[in-house]
Amino acid sequence: MIRSYPGIKTFKGDSITVQDALVVESPLIIVLNDEPFTVTMQTPGKELELALGLLITEGILSYKSSASIEYELNLSETESSIRFHFDPSTYSIANKRSLMSIAACGICGKTDWKVPEGDPLHSKENSLILDYGFETMFNHQQAFHASGGLHAASIFDGQQNLLTIHEDIGRHNAVDKCIGDLFIKQQLQKAEWLLVSGRISYEIIAKCFKAKISNIAAVSAPSSLAVDFAKEWGIHLWGFCREGRQTQYA
């Protein structure tokens, strides 16, 4: 979602009044069985997908869960909320967030930091998807082309088919929206490639590990911790994927 805001643009001493398209940022309150879970700053739209993706990547829901999910979604201009109603035996809150999660940070607000556990992933790597995948994602970034202020994430299957793409002011939110979208469509187990428009830090690697996505590529750089955990978890990781070039780190 974008809105028009006035501004004064200056170039070499000359100024003009302009109307610029800016990305909307607003809070989403997530509640589990009447207990507050977190508040995350996000770009309005696809709130259910975002919340479900977050619950999967936090380990609260299984990526292959088939249980029906009851929820109430309330949308407004200033803040939105989503309330989930689960059978207490079907989920557990391992890392409850007591603070707000800002759009730039996927693990902000946690009261504890626990590394996800599980067997390393296994997948056939095929870097040929990268040029095609990033071109496809870029062509679908409509809000970015209008505002220049949104990140994008996209997920492909092993045959280079685009399964989902979403934009958000937060990199991790865009990833969660994609994961939640495929969870709703019952296609998450087809996901083999995650492409992101920005950098890759630890939380993006951790989200993919929880969603069982074994190939990750980014336009920008990975962090050192992202590379370390990609190697440990069996995830293929590429960075600096631009203009036919890329660097593989894991």
* Burial class, 29, CB count within 10 angstroms (exposed 0-12 / middle 13-18 / buried 19+): middle
- Collapsing DSSP to helix, strand or coil, 224 comes out as helix
Q: In what order do the strands lie in the sheet with 193-196?
A: 162-168, 151-156, 193-196, 215-218, 236-242, 245-248
- Give every CB contact of residue 118 below 8 A, 6+ residues apart in sequence: 209, 233
> Is residue 241 among the annotated active site residues?
no
Q: How many CB atoms lie within 10 A of CB 140?
A: 16
- Packed helices 171-185 and 202-211: angle between N→C axes, nearest 10 degrees: 10
Task: Say which of 105, 178, 208, 241 is annotated catalytic.
Answer: 105
**Residue 14, H or E segment:** strand 14-23
Pairing of strands 100-101, 70-74: unpaired
Active site residues: 105
